[in-house]
Amino acid sequence: MVSITLSIPEEIRKKMKQYDEINWSALVRKIIEKKIQELSWKEEMLKQLKKEEEFTNWTVEIGKKAKRGRFKRLLEELTPQERKELINNGNNN
């Protein structure tokens, strides 16, 4: 195990001495370990969100392409007069 030095205000050190039963080194170690776990979890969640965002963007693009394809097929089924009416009605909105 590696040792580190921690600087704290003198007032805090005096208060810590009042509680001799507490292993301050172990407490700080556990707090550091917990923070590392939290940060690792957060990093992993951000990676997952990025993957989900990429998938969502991909599905939206597929949906748009499908709509465009369907719209083109529907236009092809219309008569020239129906297409003209559709275009004119769209411009009036």
- The one-letter code for the residue type at 53 is E
Element (H, E) at 39: helix 24-77
d(CA 30, CA 87): 68
What pLDDT is stored for residue 90 in this prediction?
67
What pLDDT is stored for residue 25 in this prediction?
94
Residues 6+ apart with CB under 8 A from 11: none
Task: Indicate the length of the chain as a whole number.
Answer: 93
93 residues of the chain, pLDDT tens digit each: 899 999 999 999 999 999 999 999 999 999 999 999 999 999 999 999 998 998 898 899 888 888 888 888 888 888 888 888 877 876 765
In order of 63, 67, 68, 69, 78, the CA distances from 73 in angstroms are: 15, 10, 9, 6, 9
pTM value is 0.56
